[in-house]
Amino acid sequence: MKRVLFAIAFVALSACVFAQVTINSSNYYKPGSTTIDIYTVQNDATDSVSTTNILTTPLNFGNSLETQFSVYGIVDTVTYAEPATEGKFTDETCSFEDGNGMRMHLKVTDEKAVCLGVSGALAQLGLNDAIDVQFEEAMDVITFPAQLNSQTNSNAHGLYLEHISALQNAFNDMEMGDMVYSFVTAEYDSIKVDIQVTFNSVFEQTGTLTLSGNRMMRGNYVYLRENRQFSYITNLYMHRIDASEFTIISDCTLTNPLFQMYFGSATINLGEALNELMGMSFPMTSTSIMQNYWRADDNYPIVEMTTNADLSYTKHLSIRYGENNDDDNFINETETVISIFPNPTTDILYIAVEDMDKGSMNIYSANGALVKEVNLNGNHNSINVNDLHNGCYFFRIFYGDKEIKGNFAKN
């Protein structure tokens, strides 16, 4: 009888443990400031960290991460942005960046969260400006309540129309690019970017993780792990001035006698030219895979990790930040040795650092990518950030044997 009661108690206890974390709309993404510790490596396929070195048994995130990642830094910033007040996404409740650097615009209700569209810079297309793509139908991201074994599989489609001048940057590095671009604009007047998105999510594991590092919110936490995948298929279409419809880039041609001299033919295929000279092959595909470790008491994962397709390595890891580290060479940007203004800024960021003769400054995007490197001279410097997209950034300043870490926003 005792064995039976013990077995029943064990089953009941196991059921309680595995049911502890349930994700509802009340503890899903919310706009506002969050504090996270970002560990990241350079955007180089050979420079990455094996997940076997991170996902240990038992699961423990500690100080050893700083020796594994070649670039790391603290960011104290708005990770999930406030709702838009103008533009295409005024119905959103918040937005966040996925592993591809695209911003996902979410609408969260009591029943589910849906993605209304995406925005961001399609640098691989050479587009001059960031794009906003509103989906024809909102894409399901999660249905509440989500718990162990909950799944979401959905897709979406969106179009982005723009004047042909948006493609000008794509021709800058092409041989005779200026000439080819001038001929392109003589025959084509606009472009259409077609984006198809597939989203898959499964809450496939529960357990306990430990945060033990100096910078982390130390303790043991019950988690529910979500494997999330965004896949993009991007195609480019061009509109000939005298045509009624758009033509896919692989069928677009350009004819001029001058091409015979440079390309061996008076007619060139624009799709082939972009592929041969710039490595731009259509359709373009990209996939972002994330592992999110959710807690019942948070509005965002306690740990986020972006991985490759087979989950074997990572370039980006975000961990809840809790306490200041004890590194004597670390100086927090809130101390009086540094002042930054204006913050937020629109174009120029002024930085004053006491007792600095010469130094350098690295600026990172909210997802940890290095976006700008600046040499600093003297203790007063002005940094032109007009080339950065609006958003939140964190920085590292190096001078002598000292390092300063902080953040700013670009509006």
Alpha-carbon distance 210 to 37, whole Å? 15
- Tens place of pLDDT for every residue, the chain, 411 residues? 444 434 444 343 444 444 468 999 988 888 775 656 777 765 455 678 899 989 988 999 888 887 787 666 655 454 677 888 888 999 999 888 765 667 889 999 999 999 999 887 665 566 656 788 999 999 999 999 999 999 999 999 999 998 998 888 777 766 677 877 898 999 999 999 999 999 999 999 999 999 887 767 778 889 999 999 989 899 999 999 999 999 999 999 988 888 788 778 899 898 887 787 777 788 988 888 999 999 887 888 889 898 888 889 888 888 876 544 444 333 344 344 678 888 788 889 988 888 888 899 988 776 566 789 999 998 889 999 988 887 778 788 888 878 787 778 887
Note if the bond before 342 is cis, omega within 30 degrees. yes
Q: What was the pLDDT predicted at 299? A: 82
Q: 182 with 242, same domain?
A: yes
Confidence (pLDDT) at 11: 40
The residue from 297, 320, 343 where one domain ends is 320
CA dihedral 411, 138, 315, 401 (to 10 degrees): 20
CATH of the domain at 405: 2.60.40.3080
Q: Decide if 14 is inside a domain.
A: no
Q: How far is it, in rounded angstroms, from Cα 211 to Cα 318?
A: 12
Q: Are residues 76 and 177 in the same domain?
A: yes
Residue 6 lies in a domain: no
Helices (runs of H) and strands (runs of E) counted in the chain: 5, 25
- Cα separation, 243 vs 238, in Å, equals 10
**Token duo for residue 201:** 């999510």
Q: Which pLDDT value is given to residue 138?
A: 96
Shared domain check, 266 and 374? no
Residue 12 located in a structural domain: no
Residue 390 is assigned to a structural domain of this protein = yes
The total number of structural domains that make up the chain: 2
- Note whether residue 88 is domain-resident: yes
Specify whether 340 is located in the same domain as 363: yes
Domain residue limits at 401: 330-410
Secondary element (H or E) of residue 363: strand 358-365
**Domain contains 129:** yes
- pLDDT at residue number 71: 65
Give the tens place of pLDDT for each residue, 204-244: 999 999 988 776 777 888 999 999 998 989 999 999 999 99
User: What global pTM score does this model have?
Assistant: 0.72
If asked whether residues 316 and 335 sit together in one domain, one would say: no
pLDDT value, residue 199:
95
Domain assignment present for 9: no
264 domain-assigned: yes
**Whether residues 113 and 254 fall in one domain:** yes
